[in-house]
A = this chain, B = another copy of it.
Amino acid sequence: MAFYEHLGWRSVRVPAGTTPGIGPAVWVEDPLGFTVEFFHQAALADRLQQRYDLRRGAEVARLDHFNIVVPDVQGAYDYYSSLGFGLSETIEDGQTLYAAWMYRKQTVHDMAFTGGAGPRLHHLGFFAHESHCVLRTCDILGSLHEEAHIERGPGRHGVSNAFYVYLRDPDGHRLEIYTSDYYTGDPDHPVLRWDVTDPRRRDFYGHAVIPSWYAEATTVLDLEGNPRPAREIRQVEEVTVGADGFPAR
């Protein structure tokens, strides 16, 4: 808490169980405007990894990452660098960092930054083992005539190599189910930098990104549970330069 107090940001202690299964915790409003929870104890859930008999749908193996919308991607990168996160991939040009993927665990990312009005949550990313799991998620939604919840994909990202689908849950929050990113644990793991004009950066098959995917995101709450206002983007937007969301431009 002292670290954040030193930075001038608010924090609060919350008792065990405030988040189900989580021990005593500290909630902080971080410099990017997101409420972050720190804890040192979590209840173990049953190991269902080989309970194939119980698996349905997406067969998610784990929660993998958060993608957040920030008005200043360079600032978000600087802050997470200061926390010890490594950089795996970027979208950039000579002037601007449009997006960045950063990791603590040995995968492509635990946190990614999308440029836009923020703080907002872009999506939660869940890992599945194989591409047919991603397809199955879509097939089930089609079967149930709930295909309107499939916002984007299936497709492959250039960035991260993930084969993905993006869903919107009934409240509009965005979820990604993906597979096939890669190991980043080598100490000299090189950064992969994508040019913002490469049409494969957001979709390796070159398809236009649906505009809602750039425009819409989830409001975040402050320590009191009130919506935090989003500041307008301070930099040139990727969609203005790369135009992959707006084929008519």
Q: Are A143 and B205 in contact (CB under 8 A)?
A: no
Q: Is there a chain B Cβ closer than 8 Å to A179's Cβ?
A: yes
Q: Are A188 and B129 in contact (CB under 8 A)?
A: no
Q: Are B140 and A53 in contact (CB under 8 A)?
A: yes
Q: Considering the complex, which residues of chain A in the window 136-158 have a beta carbon less than 8 Å from any beta carbon of chain B? A: 136, 138-145, 147-148, 150, 154-156, 158
Q: Are A135 and B142 in contact (CB under 8 A)?
A: no
Q: Is there a chain B Cβ closer than 8 Å to A24's Cβ?
A: no
Which of A135, A147, A154 has the most B CB atoms < 10 Å from its CB? A135
Q: Are A179 and B129 in contact (CB under 8 A)?
A: yes
Residues of A within 8 A of B (CB): 42, 44, 47, 49-54, 61-62, 105-106, 129-132, 135-136, 138-145, 147-148, 150, 154-156, 158, 161, 163, 179-180, 182-183, 185-186, 188, 190, 192, 199-200, 204-207
